[in-house]
């Protein structure tokens, strides 16, 4: 039974906020953007609170949707930059070089949408394959295949990065 | 380097690391916004009581219908835009969605490309190289099929009188030829593809005049083994022109005409005998045939068409439009029934008399591209088809909740489900519309238009929904002018 009081909702928001920021940072590659998206998502939760039965699952679905929308806006902005003569390389260069967790978030965020979602749900949220498939609305085989492709892509990226640093 | 999986789990920030926010203020803002929304809903209820024809709010509600709502219904809007393509896709191209959410278009007038793939995140295109060898006349060839499953495209048809083709793997970006087969005697009536096996089903006759009987048979091509084999024997007699539909490895065979052994050899209609109403389903993956009960159809002398989705079969009986006297009162010229595979039950579709009271109805089926759900559209057949006249009344039926809802007042051509929002499209015929048009069904049952005018109307276009976008691809914007771009409708909520 979910406690519907304002106090319980505020406590839930405070408890879920860091976790949600981490999840969304893996999607968008930027902690500060993730914080904004997480707060938007928590506000949406407050708006729909009387009808939400599984708050964490709801937050994950809505938050991931919002991160996808953010990506679409971002690419629209990039297309606008390109129309004004700013090259993609310059745009990438503006985002700087990242290390550690920031580099990992950035690498995950650069994966195709379903791959970054499966990585976040499987290894950040620790969902099982079946739970991930249910959350994503796809077959378990798809989750396994996407996980395989995503990990291979990430390993390849980090391996080549380490080789580059050692060279 | 730590294992990646552990590193990903370890990116979770501590509470002290994230920018603090006031949770109590957030709760207050959420409550205020909720109260404003309830006022709006109350106004809508008053409108219903005042006589505005809005059906029950739970009809097509997200938990019952087109998709699981990731976010509860709120304000929704949509905007049209156009996307340039590197190829001219022509009429009715094959379209599909990759496992990464990209858009695949197969079918091109350009000899240097068989199709193209749109990266829906970046907006960039990459082309699909031409098929190796001779193409089985994919564009418009009546014995050619193109199917898309699990990031593979299979194209098969008649080459030099034999069934052959090629398949394309999106991961490796390579075509592999499908060698000719001698396992079947005809070009087949239906083809199914489950991503690994391509099945060609022949049901009855061969030869230029389709008069020579052959045994029903299935030929199966295994992509990994690169070999053809004969599949399970169909459990039915040789027959003329059954209605067939295929989707995701399933083939549905309905009816057809049995051969008449007493027919004269030179009979102009061929040796066509009694009509059959039996039904069969072939599962490509399991290589199994299943008999299905006859449909509860009361359509009289009619032709049939069938559709198949992941959980439903729809059969619609209809009379050819030019055979119906417009002055004649015909109540049973159209009939529809839907079979649910998961429950093995038929449901006869009752006409939406409250919406089309003259009972002369044209049924059309539209398998929603994202949810793969057969949605029926009913249109009054007695209303004018002239663009300048009032559009005919329409209704939309979903097999999921077995009820009709009134469509928008447009020349409805198709419906698509974008997450929890039902979208009605018009303008998929340049002869009856000037431009593409979209109406969105709101949570309170109203239809609202897109926020801007759509591009030119187009005929023989293909439609697909990916994420929040509906793409209308290919087709012609006049009798002889093909489109060179994609019309995209982006939903925002």
Average pLDDT, chain A: 77
Q: Is A10 helix (H, G, I), strand (E, B) or coil?
A: helix
Identify whether the C-beta of residue B359 lies closer than 8 Å to the C-beta of residue B341: no
Cross-chain residue pair B70–A62, CB shorter than 8 Å: yes
Side-chain half-sphere CA neighbours of B340 within 13 A? 11
Count of beta carbons in the 10 Å neighbourhood of residue A157: 17
Distances (CA, A) of B364 to B53, B255, B328, B379, B413: 24, 19, 22, 8, 9
A47, A49, A55, A135, best to mutate vs chain B, most B CBs in 10 Å? A47
Residues of B in contact with A9 (CB under 8 A): 27, 30
> What's residue B210's pLDDT?
57
Q: Tell me, what's the pLDDT at A147? A: 85
* Residues of A with Cβ-Cβ distance to B102 under 8 angstroms: 112
| Residues 6 or more apart in contact with residue A158 via CB below 8 angstroms | A107, B1, B4
Q: Scanning every residue of chain B, which has its alpha carbon at the shortest distance from the alpha carbon of A40?
A: B26
Residue B215 in 3-state DSSP? coil
Flag if A49 and B101 touch (Cβ within 8 Å).
Answer: no
Does A46 contact B27 at a Cβ distance shorter than 8 Å? yes
- pLDDT, residue A24, reads 93
Name every chain B residue with its beta carbon within 8 A of the beta carbon of A146. Answer: 99
Strand ranges (DSSP E) for B309-436?
312-318, 335-340, 345-349, 361-367, 374-380, 394-398, 403-406, 412-418, 421-426
Report the SS3 class of residue B206: strand
In chain B, residues with a C-beta closer than 8 Å to the C-beta of A32 are 19
CB-based contact B318:B334 (threshold 8 Å): yes
What ipTM does this complex have? Answer: 0.79
Tens digit of each residue's pLDDT (9 = 90 or more) over A50-63: 878 788 888 888 88
Contact: A158, B30; criterion CB under 8 Å: no
Q: How many CB pairs under 8 A join A and B?
A: 132
User: Which candidate, B165, B163, B168, B169, places its Cα nearest to that of B178?
Assistant: B165
Overall average pLDDT of the A22-27 stretch:
91
- Shortest Cα–Cα distance, B70 to chain A (Å): 6
Nearest-neighbour CA in chain A from B329: distance (Å): 47
Distance from CA of A76 to the nearest CA of B (A): 9
Interstrand relation of B288-292 and B303-308 (parallel, antiparallel or unpaired): unpaired
Phi, psi of B419 (to 5 degrees): 55, -115
Residue by residue, pLDDT tens for chain B (493 residues) are 457 888 888 888 888 888 888 888 888 888 877 766 554 344 333 332 222 222 222 233 333 333 323 333 567 889 999 998 888 887 778 888 887 788 999 887 777 888 999 988 788 899 999 888 766 554 433 347 788 888 889 988 877 667 888 999 988 889 999 998 888 877 677 889 988 899 999 887 765 555 677 889 999 999 989 999 999 999 998 888 788 888 888 999 998 888 777 776 666 556 677 778 899 999 998 999 999 999 887 655 556 778 887 778 888 776 544 333 444 444 445 678 888 888 889 988 877 765 555 445 556 555 554 444 556 666 655 544 455 566 777 778 777 667 778 888 887 778 887 767 888 888 887 777 788 999 998 877 888 999 898 998 888 888 888 888 999 998 888 766 778 789 999 988 6
Chain A residues touching B17 at Cβ < 8 A: 18
Of B346 and A97, which is predicted with more confidence?
B346
DSSP B373-390: -EEEEEEESSS---TTSP
Token pair for A54: 């599984």
- Does A125 have pLDDT greater than 70? yes
For tokens 């087969």, name the residue: B181
Nearest chain B residue to A126 by CA: give it: B9
Quote the CA–CA distance of B3 and A145 in Å, as a whole number.
19
- B68 contacts A112? CB cut-off 8 A: no
C-alpha to C-alpha distance for B425 and B415, rounded to whole angstroms: 6
**Element spanning A118, H or E:** helix A113-119
Token pair for B169: 């793997």
Tokens of A68: 């996808």
Rounded CA-CA distance B252/B479 in Å is 34
B126: tokens are: 């990459």
Q: Does A10 sit within 8 Å of B23, measured CB to CB?
A: yes
CB B447 within 8 A of CB B424: yes
Q: Which of A19, A108, A154 has its CB closest to that of B12?
A: A19
Q: Would you state the pLDDT for residue A110?
A: 82
- Cβ count near A119 (within 10 Å): 27
Q: Looking at the partner chain, which of B12, B14, B99 has a beta carbon nearest the beta carbon of A146? A: B99
Is the Cβ pair B26, A32 closer than 8 Å?
no
Q: Do B26 and A137 touch (CB under 8 A)?
A: no
């Amino acid at each position: 039974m979910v406690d519907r009081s304002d106090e319980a909702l505020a406590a839930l928001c405070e408890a879920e906020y860091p976790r949600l920021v981490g999840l969304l940072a893996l999607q968008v590659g930027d902690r500060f953007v993730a914080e904004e998206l997480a707060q938007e998502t928590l506000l949406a939760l407050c708006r729909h609170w009387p009808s939400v039965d599984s708050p964490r699952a709801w937050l994950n679905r809505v938050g991931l949707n919002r991160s996808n929308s953010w990506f679409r806006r971002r690419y629209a902005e990039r297309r606008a930059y390109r129309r004004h003569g700013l090259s993609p390389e310059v745009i990438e260069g503006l985002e700087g070089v990242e290390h550690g967790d920031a580099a990992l978030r950035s690498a995950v965020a650069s994966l195709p949408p379903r791959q970054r979602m499966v990585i976040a749900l499987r290894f950040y949220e620790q969902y099982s394959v079946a739970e991930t498939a249910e959350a994503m609305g796809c077959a378990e085989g798809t989750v396994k295949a996407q996980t395989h492709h995503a990990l291979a892509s990430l390993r390849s990226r980090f391996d080549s990065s380490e080789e580059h640093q050692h060279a | 380097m730590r294992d990646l999986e552990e590193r990903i789990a370890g990116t979770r920030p501590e509470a002290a690391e994230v920018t603090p926010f006031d949770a109590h203020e957030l709760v207050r803002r959420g409550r205020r916004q909720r109260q404003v929304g309830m006022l709006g809903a109350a106004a809508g209820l008053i409108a219903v009581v005042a006589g505005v024809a809005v059906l029950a709010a739970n009809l097509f509600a997200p938990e019952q219908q087109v998709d699981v709502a990731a976010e509860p219904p709120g304000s929704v809007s949509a905007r049209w835009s156009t996307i340039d393509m590197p190829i001219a896709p022509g009429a009715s191209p094959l379209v599909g969605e990759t496992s990464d959410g990209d858009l695949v278009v197969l079918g091109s007038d350009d000899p240097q490309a068989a199709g193209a793939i749109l990266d829906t995140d970046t907006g960039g295109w990459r082309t699909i190289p031409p098929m190796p060898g001779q193409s089985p006349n994919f564009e418009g060839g009546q014995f050619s099929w193109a199917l898309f499953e699990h990031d593979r495209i299979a194209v098969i048809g008649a080459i030099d009188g034999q069934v052959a083709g090629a398949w394309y793997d999106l991961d490796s970006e390579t075509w592999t030829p499908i060698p000719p087969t001698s396992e079947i005697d005809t070009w087949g009536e239906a083809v199914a593809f489950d991503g690994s096996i391509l099945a060609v089903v022949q049901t009855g006759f061969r030869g230029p005049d389709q008069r020579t009987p052959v045994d029903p048979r299935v030929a199966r091509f295994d992509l990994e083994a690169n070999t053809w084999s004969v599949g399970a024997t169909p459990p039915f007699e040789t027959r003329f022109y059954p209605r067939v539909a295929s989707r995701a490895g399933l083939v549905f065979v309905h009816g057809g005409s049995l051969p008449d052994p007493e027919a004269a050899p030179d009979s102009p209609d061929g040796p066509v005998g009694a009509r059959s109403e039996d039904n069969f389903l072939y599962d490509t993956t399991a290589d199994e045939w299943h008999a299905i009960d006859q449909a509860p159809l009361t359509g009289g002398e009619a032709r049939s068409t069938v559709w198949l989705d992941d959980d439903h079969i729809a059969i619609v009986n209809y009379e050819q439009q030019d055979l119906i006297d417009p002055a004649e009162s015909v109540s049973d010229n159209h009939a529809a029934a839907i079979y649910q595979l998961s429950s093995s039950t038929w449901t006869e579709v009752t006409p939406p008399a409250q919406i089309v009271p003259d009972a002369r109805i044209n049924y059309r089926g539209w398998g929603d591209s994202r949810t793969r759900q057969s949605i029926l559209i009913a249109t009054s057949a007695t209303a004018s088809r002239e663009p300048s006249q009032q559009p005919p009344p329409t209704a939309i039926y979903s097999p999921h909740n077995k009820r009709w809802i009134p469509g928008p007042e447009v020349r409805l051509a198709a419906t698509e489900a974008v997450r929890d929002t039902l979208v009605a499209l018009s303008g998929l015929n340049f002869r009856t519309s000037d431009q593409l048009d979209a109406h969105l069904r709101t949570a309170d049952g109203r239809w609202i238009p897109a926020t801007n005018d759509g591009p030119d109307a187009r005929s023989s276009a293909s439609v697909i929904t990916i994420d929040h976008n509906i793409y209308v691809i290919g087709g012609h914007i006049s009798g002889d002018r093909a489109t060179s771009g994609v019309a995209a409708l982006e939903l925002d909520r």
